[in-house]
Chain A
Amino acid sequence: MTAPLMTTPLMAATVTDPRLGQDRPGGPLHPGFVRRRASRSTRGIAPGALRVQDLAVTFRSKRAAVRAVREVSFTVEPGRTLVLLGESGSGKSVSARATLRLYGDRVDVEGSATLADLDLFGLSEAEMRAVRGKSLGFVPQDAGGSLDPLRRIGAQVAEVVRWHGVERTRRAARDRAVDLLAQVGIPDPGRVARAYPHELSGGMRQRALIAIAISCGPRVLIADEPTTALDVTIQAQVLELFARLQDELGMGLLMVTHDVGVAEQVADRVAVMYAGRLVEEGPGAVVLSQPAHPYTAGLLGAVPTPETPRGGLQAIAGQPPPAGAVVADGCAFADRCAFAVEACRRESPPLAEVGPGHRAACPVVGGSVVGRAVVGGPAVGGPVAVGQPVRGVSHPEGPAS
Chain B
Amino acid sequence: MSRAPLLLAENLTKRFGNGVLAVDDVSLTVYPGETVGIVGESGCGKSTTGKLILRLLEPDAGYVAFDGRNLGPIAGQQLRDIRAQLQLVPQNPQTSLNPRRTVAEAVIFNLRAHGWPRHRAARRAAELLDRVGIPAAYLRRYPHELSGGQLQRVAIARALSTDPKLIVCDEAVSALDKSVQAQVLNLLVELQQERGVAYLFISHDLGVVEHLSDRVVVMYLGRVVEEGTASELWRNPTHPYTAALLSSTPGRDRQPLVLAGDLPNPADPPSGCGFRTRCPFALDACAEQRPAMAPAEGTGAHRAACLRSTDDLAFPVRRGAA
Show the binding face of A for B, using Cβ within 8 Å.
87-88, 187, 201, 203-204, 231-237, 239-240, 258-261, 264-265, 298-299, 301-308, 310-317, 319-320, 391, 399
Q: Which of B178, B231, B261 has the most CB of A within 10 A?
A: B178
Q: Which of B150, B179, B183, B278 has the most CB of A within 10 A?
A: B179
Q: Does B115 contact A (CB under 8 A)?
A: no
Evaluate whether A303 and B183 lie within 8 angstroms (CB atoms) in the complex, with A236-B258, A310-B189 already known: no
Cβ-defined contact, B250 with A264, below 8 A:
yes
| A257 CA / B180 CA spacing, docked (Å) | 17
> CB < 8 Å: which of A232, A240, A310, A314 contacts B182?
A314
Cβ-defined contact, B256 with A315, below 8 A:
no
Cβ-defined contact, A304 with B185, below 8 A:
yes
Cβ-defined contact, B179 with A232, below 8 A:
no
Cβ-defined contact, B178 with A399, below 8 A:
no
Chain A residues near B207 (CB, 8 Å)? 261, 303-305
Secondary structure type dominating chain B contacts: helix
Cβ-defined contact, A236 with B186, below 8 A:
no
| A192 CA / B273 CA spacing, docked (Å) | 26
B143 to chain A, nearest CB (A): 15
Show the binding face of B for A, using Cβ within 8 Å.
41-42, 147, 149-150, 177-183, 185-186, 189-190, 193, 204-208, 210-212, 231, 234, 244-245, 247-251, 256-259, 261-263, 278
Can you list 10 A-B pairs with a CB-CB distance of less than 8 A?
A87-B179, A233-B258, A234-B262, A236-B257, A261-B207, A301-B182, A304-B210, A308-B211, A319-B147, A319-B149
A182 to chain B, nearest CB (A): 15
| A231 CA / B278 CA spacing, docked (Å) | 14
Secondary structure type dominating chain A contacts: loop
Chain A residues near B147 (CB, 8 Å)? 319
| A88 CA / B210 CA spacing, docked (Å) | 25
Evaluate whether A232 and B41 lie within 8 angstroms (CB atoms) in the complex, with A310-B189, A313-B186, A315-B183 already known: yes
Evaluate whether A233 and B185 lie within 8 angstroms (CB atoms) in the complex, with A87-B179, A88-B177 already known: no
Cβ-defined contact, B178 with A233, below 8 A:
no
Cβ-defined contact, B182 with A233, below 8 A:
no
Cβ-defined contact, B256 with A302, below 8 A:
no
| A128 CA / B234 CA spacing, docked (Å) | 49
Q: Which of A87, A235, A311 has the most CB of B within 10 A?
A: A311
Chain A residues near B178 (CB, 8 Å)? 87, 258, 260, 299, 302-303
Cβ-defined contact, B262 with A303, below 8 A:
no
Chain A residues near B206 (CB, 8 Å)? 232
A166 to chain B, nearest CB (A): 28
| A88 CA / B177 CA spacing, docked (Å) | 7
Evaluate whether A233 and B259 lie within 8 angstroms (CB atoms) in the complex, with A301-B182, A310-B212, A311-B193 already known: yes
